[in-house]
Structure 1
Amino acid sequence: MSYKKLGKYIKLIDNRNRDLSDAPLLGVSVQKRFITSVANTIGSDMSKYKLIEKNNFVYIPDTSRRGDKIGIALLKDFDEAMISQAYTSFKIIDENELSPDYLMMWFSRPEFDRYARYHSIGSVREVFDWKDMCEVELPIPSIEEQRKIVAQYQSIANKIKVNEQICEKLEATAQALYKHWFVDFEFPSPLTPNGGIVPYKSSGGKMVWNEELGKEIPEGWEVGKLETVSNLKYGKMLDSDKFLTAGYPVFSGYGVRGYYSEYMYEEPQILVLCRGVSGTGEVKLSPNFSYITNLSIVVELQENVMSKFFTYYYLKNDDLRTLDSGSAQSMITTGDLYFRNILKPKYTIQVQFDNQISKLHNCKEILKRQNQKLAQLQSLLLSRLAVGEEEKKKIAV
């Protein structure tokens, strides 16, 4: 299949917001998605902003401060939107010749990011301008073939999205169960004479006032400092020589940041993000067999004193961002955490809660692993865009 220059198929757009439309103001991320703009527009002349429509493309010509990626996105969720005048917008001239979704797949390839960065020129700042975009070459099969490829890709994307939505619902269920048991104190309790299980507080379970928390808690429960139930450890610095394309996940608190030749923990660990530009105080669970970086504090619990999922959700709901003691950089230390109060329900109640939550957690992990496989399949489809039909047949065989 021969490659064709993109300039033949696209047209520059420069529609200004002269009528002061109230269309949503969007930005573009290096994840190649539109995001709600956080720009301060107070006092700005909104007539200078650009308007775009569904199936229009937007990209950021300045590639200097975006790592190895270029910010580009295809508008799908709005009929009309507003963007910064610094962005470049364009549309496809004839969508019966080139599908916008097919072109967006091409832009989603890491090879395109490398191409755009290589062809960005400038001394003060590097720019991938409109002329450069028009010089992009890509294979353009028949529109029927394009739509077939897009349908395959989108079916995978839809499955990933459905899995993510299910994970969100599972997490919401876990949060609701935590609140029901440990905020409303309606955990199951054998209070009836015949041994029936009933909600604790609403069935007359005895409550006592706790000075540390400033509220009533169930009788027999305690409050202590985090230092009395855990050992807090900083993660470790990384050795770049041990980074791999596959191996054990490196978890920083922001998420998986790559793979490593060794791991620190076999089982998921409770992490508190302790430094960074944002998110300090967030509480996460690491994956199995992971290496934890020094951006996180690991909360290692004492056995048979505190359960993992109860402690995780307690800390997650305990606004640890208020512990930020950094000046130049956002930061939380182990000393900040050690003296934090923590509720200590009876251990048997914690275990019951963990047994319930572990089922939800296991379902989430299965869905996450499915999504990892689906994402790999997406990458394979993107890589095959540049393969000719004869080569595709060889691969299929």
Structure 2
Amino acid sequence: MSYKRLGDYIQQVNQRNKDLEVDTLLGVSITKKLIPSIANTIGTDMSTYKIIERGQFAYGTITSRNGDKISIALASEHDSALVSQIYVVFEVIDANVLLPEYLMMWFSRPEFDRYARYHSHGSTREAFDWEDMCEVELPIPSIEKQREIVAQYQAVANKIKVNEQICEKLEATAQALYQHWFVDFEFPDENGNPYKSASGKMVYNEELEKEIPEEWDVVKLEEVSSLKYGKMLDSDKFLTKGYPVFSGYGIRGYYSEFMYQEPQILVLCRGVSGTGEVKLSPNNAYITNLSIVVEMTESLMTKYFSFYFLKNDDLRTLDSGSAQSMITTGDLYFRNILKPLYYVQQQFDEKVIQILEMKKVIKAEIRKLTQLQNILLSRLATLNNKKTIT
């Protein structure tokens, strides 16, 4: 079986939203997914936007601003949606010859990204245009073989999706527990009864401007924690494997050393978005200067209660940046934090740790399944000995 020219199997689609019948606007991410657009469309003429239908592709031709990725995605979750005019929309001419899902697997390979970047051209901005896309060559086995390959890949993808949903439900469970105990104040009292429903005494707190349980307190964050910025990175210490480098926005890579052995509470303190979000770092992580580390120093304040309190506090209001979004340690010093009785915090932490351990196991399975996905993608090139895209 020889490699085939892709241009013989695909065609451009240029359907515009002239009648304004479609209002769902999507963008194409570098993770090769169609995602809700964050563009401000107030006053925008939506009739000029392109319609993309289920089974069609959209891609951005400009590659110089995407690092090593080309933004391309297959529409699979919407019957019809809109994308910006900057995207090229195209479709497979005959799905009985080339499955769109099989083609998307080919586009998902890192080898395709390298190929697209290598064949991009331009002076101020490099582009992988439609003519370049048409010159891509790939193996196109029988439709039965394509269906078999896609079925294997989608079975793994579906398992990953189910596991991600389980992780979301576990996190929702932890959030609901926090809400029940520390917002509704229905934590179990010393007799195991819901505190507020069992007529537990409440007193008004001026700092929080609401009633809290009688023996609880409110303190300033600086009284119970140490606030430190993460550190700059040394490019010479980056590794392909090692300790995770965590910015708060995610794991950026791996490093030859770590700063914290245990998970730490982080407040994202600068960036284009997300400033004020509260995260937990992974074990043995190096924390970058995009985050403030909140180390609890008060022995009667537990880590996971403090984490969920800060996570549910609206720290975005502390953003003091002008040109760039920013929060400083000074902004956090005088922030109020609730101080429940220690035994209540301990009980909460015990339950949350169980939930986080379950998430940890499931995420480990997701990583293994993702590795299996990558293996399946790499096998596409072994359908034939010729290697046009490597």
Mapping of 1:278-289 within 5 angstroms?
A: 278-289=273-284
Distance 1:42 1:345, change over 3 A: closer
| Partner SS, residue 4 of structure 2 | strand
Moved more, 131-140 or 39-48: 39-48
Question: Where does residue 241 of structure 2 map in the other structure?
Answer: 246
367, 385, 388: which one pairs with 2:380? 385
Mapped contact 1:273–1:279 kept (Cα < 8 A): yes
| Cα shift at 1:87 | 1.3
Measure, in 1, the Cα distance between the counterparts of 2:269 and 2:236.
25
| RMSD, matched Cα | 1.6
| Partner SS, residue 4 of structure 1 | strand
Mapping of 1:119-130 within 5 angstroms?
A: 119-130=119-130
Is 1:348 aligned with 2:343? yes
Unaligned ranges ≥5, structure 2: none
Aligned length: 386
| Partner SS, residue 317 of structure 2 | helix
Question: Where does residue 395 of structure 1 map in the other structure?
Answer: none
Question: Where does residue 158 of structure 1 map in the other structure?
Answer: 158
Mapped contact 1:271–1:283 kept (Cα < 8 A): yes
Question: Where does residue 134 of structure 2 map in the other structure?
Answer: 134
| Partner SS, residue 306 of structure 1 | coil
Q: Percent of pairs identical after alignment?
A: 71
Q: TM-score, length-normalised on structure 1?
A: 0.94
Residue identity matched to 1:308: K
Measure, in 2, the Cα distance between the counterparts of 1:8 and 1:164.
38
| Cα shift at 1:23 | 4.4
Question: Where does residue 193 of structure 1 map in the other structure?
Answer: none
Measure, in 1, the Cα distance between the counterparts of 2:44 and 2:332.
43
| Cα shift at 1:390 | 7.8
356, 365, 371: which one pairs with 1:370? 365
Mapped contact 1:97–1:142 kept (Cα < 8 A): yes
Mapped contact 1:304–1:347 kept (Cα < 8 A): no
Measure, in 2, the Cα distance between the counterparts of 1:272 and 1:45.
39
Measure, in 2, the Cα distance between the counterparts of 1:316 and 1:383.
40
| Cα shift at 1:17 | 2.5
Measure, in 1, the Cα distance between the counterparts of 2:61 and 2:123.
14
Measure, in 2, the Cα distance between the counterparts of 1:111 and 1:258.
20
Question: Where does residue 222 of structure 1 map in the other structure?
Answer: 217
Mapped contact 2:186–2:196 kept (Cα < 8 A): yes
Mapped contact 2:225–2:298 kept (Cα < 8 A): no
| Cα shift at 1:45 | 3.5
Question: Where does residue 17 of structure 1 map in the other structure?
Answer: 17
Mapped contact 1:269–1:286 kept (Cα < 8 A): yes
State the structure with bigger RCO (CA 8 A, min sep 6), 1 or 2.
2
| Cα shift at 1:158 | 0.7
Question: Where does residue 263 of structure 1 map in the other structure?
Answer: 258
Mapping of 1:275-314 within 5 angstroms?
A: 275-302=270-297, 304-314=299-309
| Cα shift at 1:13 | 1.2
189, 195, 201: which one pairs with 2:196? 201
Measure, in 2, the Cα distance between the counterparts of 1:208 and 1:80.
54
Residue identity matched to 1:197: G
Measure, in 2, the Cα distance between the counterparts of 1:366 and 1:23.
40
Distance 1:327 1:358, change over 3 A: same
349, 358, 361: which one pairs with 2:356? 361
Q: TM-score, length-normalised on structure 2?
A: 0.95
Question: Where does residue 109 of structure 1 map in the other structure?
Answer: 109
Is 1:316 aligned with 2:311? yes
Question: Where does residue 330 of structure 1 map in the other structure?
Answer: 325
| Partner SS, residue 267 of structure 2 | strand
Measure, in 2, the Cα distance between the counterparts of 1:348 and 1:40.
48
| Cα shift at 1:388 | 3.4
Moved more, 273-282 or 36-45: 36-45
| Partner SS, residue 124 of structure 2 | coil
